[in-house]
Amino acid sequence: MTASDQLQQPGKWADALDKTGVTRADSSGGPTGGPPVDGPLYEKRKSVHNKRIDGPFRRFKWLVMVVTLAIYYVTPWLRWDRGPYAPDQAVLIDLANRRFYMFDIEIWPHEFYFVAGLLIMAGIGLFLVTSAVGRAWCGYACPQTVWTDLFQHVDRFIDGDRNARMRLDKAPWGPSKIARRGGKWGIYLLISLVTGGAWILYFADAPTLFAEFFFGTASPVAYMTVAVLTGTTFWLGGFMREQVCIYMCPWPRIQAAMLDEQSLIVTYKDWRGEQRGSLKKAQKEPEKFGDCIDCRECVAVCPTGIDIREGQQVGCITCALCIDACDRVMKDIGRPRGLIDYATLDQCEAEAAGAPATPAWKALLRPRTFIYFGIWGGIGAAMLFALGTRSHTDLTVSPDRNPAFMLLKDGSVRNAYTLRLRNMEGRPRDMEIALAGLPEGAVLWTDRIGSDAAAPAQTIAVPADETRVVRAYVTVPAGSAADQFSFELTSLDEQREKDTVPTTFAMPGGN
């Protein structure tokens, strides 16, 4: 059935929309023939009070939460020995000195393509995950999900489970409600503060900045960053919650475009569940009713407060808590698990047509997943190779343009160059600069090495992890001609890294 066929059946669309609780803008019953909607077009948010649930997916979610939070809070405190000339923080984004440290990797600004590559990998990684396991990022690892989950546990800890919280919501404001709300928001704020506080530790030496932060001597930018991040965590995690996923985040839209009939989603197997009805009715007339006993457990546990039985929808972050909930119900009433389950639309269709259930992992084995994995792995391997083989030495040469050349008393001609010698090692190194391709007698000196010590090659000490700027003068003797030549840089250590930079020698009357 095509979409236009479906359009011819207004009733079906209207039903589906009514079930989702989405009110439409075509209030007068336009071409789709739906009934006019009364009441305002804007629906107020209904707070979500999701119920506690335990099960394999919930436990997995706990695990992911602990691991991701631990990574976030602990990483800045890890130390990594890089010798006396570099910071000893394992992961450090040193904006002031323009260095990015990650364990053994040190990235300079001119190597920012590594960071770009990481971001591209992250992007393709999301595609890969989406093609393999659908919105797993949303369901488990997204910071919005993790912190929302954390805050919902705080709700449960302070106010009790779903019913207690719904009651408290409706209760009038009184001392006890104020105390509870105050306590809860206090804990929110504390979590938010720790979250915002941990962020800045990635940008400076963590122990130092931590101390400075409390003594009031950290930079204003640190306090402002913490304030902003504390505020956004408090607001987005404590109050906006699922609305971020449904209204603000672009990712569900992008993912919606990426999902197809072979993507793993959380789905309610309506051919098995319908006709739904209470356990009592179902026991009375087993042939008339399906497996769903309409206990609404799946809705109660859902962190975004939706009803998965209405079908795939943007509000479903595929956290699979409804699977845990329903599996438990099915166990209690003695039916096989998986009325709500991870499955692809194709699998569902086959199953509905009577084929045996396919294990969900089979959905992973398809070309799209392999292609994404190939690209992702390829970029990763290329970056590792580039990292492993990159040179830690570099030379750039800029000839003086004004004046391009200088005639000297004895008729010799001098050109001046600005050389930048880059030492990316964490120790000072001696480097040799030599002239190649100039006539006999050409010599080199610098602003520090005087013209009396002019020679065809000079040794220059470059400090650890720095670029040394040198003003170099090159002279060719009177009567000789010069044009193209190169500066050759060699590091005078066991690495003997080289860099050769071609440049031009300007002569009077030349060019």
Partner 1 sequence: MMADKNRVDEPTGTELVGHEWDGIEELNTPLPRWWLWTFYATIAWSAVYVVLYPAWPMVSQATEGVLGWSSRGALADEMTAADMARVSTFERIAATEITKLSADPELMGQAIAGGAAAFKQHCIQCHGAGAAGYEQYGYPNLNDDDWIWGGEIGEIEYTLTHGIRWDGSDETRITYMPAFEGIFDRAQVDALVGHVLSLSGNGSGNAAGAELYAANCAACHQPSGAGDHAQGAPALNDAIWLYGKSEASIRQQILAPRHGVMPGWSDKLDPVTIRMLAAYVHSRGGGEETISDTPAAEPDEPDVAQAEVSGAEGNDRL
Residues that bind partner 1 (CB under 8 A): 27-28, 36, 38-41, 400-403, 406-411, 414, 416, 447-448, 450, 452, 473, 478
**Interacting span for ligand SF4 (CB under 6 A) from 162-170, 174-182, 323-331, 456-464:** 323-331
Q: Please, which of residues 339-378 interact with ligand SF4 by CB under 6 A?
A: 339-340
- Spatial distance between the Cα atoms of 144 and 76, rounded to a whole number of angstroms: 21
Nearer to ligand SF4, 133 or 462 (CB): 133
How many chain residues bind ligand SF4 (CB under 6 A)?
29
448 binds, among partner 1, ligand SF4, none (CB under 5 to 8 A by kind): partner 1
d(CA 82, CA 277): 67
Peptide bond into 283 cis (omega under 30): no
Q: Site map for ligand SF4, 213-252, x if CB under 6 A?
A: ----------------------------------------
- What number of H helices and E strands is found in the chain? 18, 14
What distance in Å separates the CA atoms of residue 44 and residue 26, rounded to the nearest whole number?
19
DSSP state letter for 248: I
Q: Which of 344, 348, 340 is nearest to 363 (CA)?
A: 344
DSSP 276: P
Q: Pick what 354 binds: partner 1, ligand SF4, none; C-beta below 5 to 8 Å, kind-dependent.
A: none
Give kind and range of the element (H or E) at residue 430. strand 429-436
Residue keyed to tokens 């105390």: 179
| CA-based nearest residue to 485, from 473, 472, 499, 503 | 503
User: Amino acid identity of 348?
Assistant: C
Residue 400 binding result from partner 1, ligand SF4, none, given CB thresholds of 5 to 8 Å by partner type = partner 1
Q: Which does 402 bind (CB under 5 to 8 A by kind): ligand SF4, partner 1, none?
A: partner 1
CB of 157 vs ligand SF4, minimal distance in Å: 20
C-alpha distances (whole Å) from 365 to each of 131, 135, 136, 263, 265 are 10, 17, 17, 11, 15
The Cα 32–Cα 26 span in angstroms is 9
* Residue number with CB closer to ligand SF4 (49 or 422): 49
Question: Would you call 473 helix, strand, or coil by DSSP?
Answer: strand
What is the amino acid identity at position 181?
Answer: R
Integer Cα distance of 58 and 336 in angstroms: 20
Q: Specify the stretch interacting with ligand SF4 by CB under 6 A; choose among 65-73, 148-156, 198-206, 313-321.
A: 313-321
Give, as one character, the DSSP assignment of residue 37: P
Binding mask 249-278 for ligand SF4 (x = CB under 6 A): -----------------x-x----x-----
Neighbours of 247 (CB within 10 A): 12
Which CB sits closer to partner 1, 30 or 374? 30
* Residue 322 binding partner per list ligand SF4, partner 1, none, with a CB distance cut-off of 5 to 8 Å that depends on partner kind: ligand SF4
Residue 297 touches which of partner 1, ligand SF4, none (CB < 5 to 8 A by kind)?
Answer: ligand SF4
Q: Considering CB distances under 5 to 8 angstroms, the limit depending on partner class, which of partner 1, ligand SF4, none binds residue 36? A: partner 1
Are 132 and 260 in contact by the 8 Å Cβ rule? The answer is: no
Cα(423)–Cα(461) distance, integer angstroms: 10
The SS3 call for residue 495 is: coil
Q: Does 302 bind ligand SF4 (CB under 6 A)?
A: yes
195 touches ligand SF4 (CB under 6 A): no
Q: Which amino acid is at 117?
A: G
Q: Which does 211 bind (CB under 5 to 8 A by kind): ligand SF4, partner 1, none?
A: none
Among 136, 236, 322, 460, binds ligand SF4 (CB under 6 A): 322
Nearest one of 268, 406, 253, 247 to 348, comparing CA atoms:
268
Rule CB under 6 A: say whether 499 interacts with ligand SF4.
no
Residue closer to ligand SF4, measured from CB, 79 or 296: 296
Whose Cβ is closer to partner 1: residue 3's or residue 41's? 41
How many other β-carbons are positioned within 10 Å of the β-carbon of residue 389?
Answer: 7
Residue 120 interacting partner from ligand SF4, partner 1, none (CB closer than 5 to 8 Å by kind):
none
Task: Give CA–CA dist 452/84, Å, rounded.
Answer: 36
For 367-378, give the DSSP string. HHHHHHHHHHHH
Of 128, 198, 240, 319, the one binding ligand SF4 (CB under 6 A) is 319
Of these partners, ligand SF4, partner 1, none, which one is at the site of residue 408 (CB under 5 to 8 Å by kind)?
partner 1
User: What is the pattern of x (binds ligand SF4, CB under 6 A) and - over residues 277-296?
Assistant: ---------------xxxxx
Residues that bind ligand SF4 (CB under 6 A): 266, 268, 273, 292-298, 301-304, 306, 308-309, 316-322, 325-326, 329, 339-340
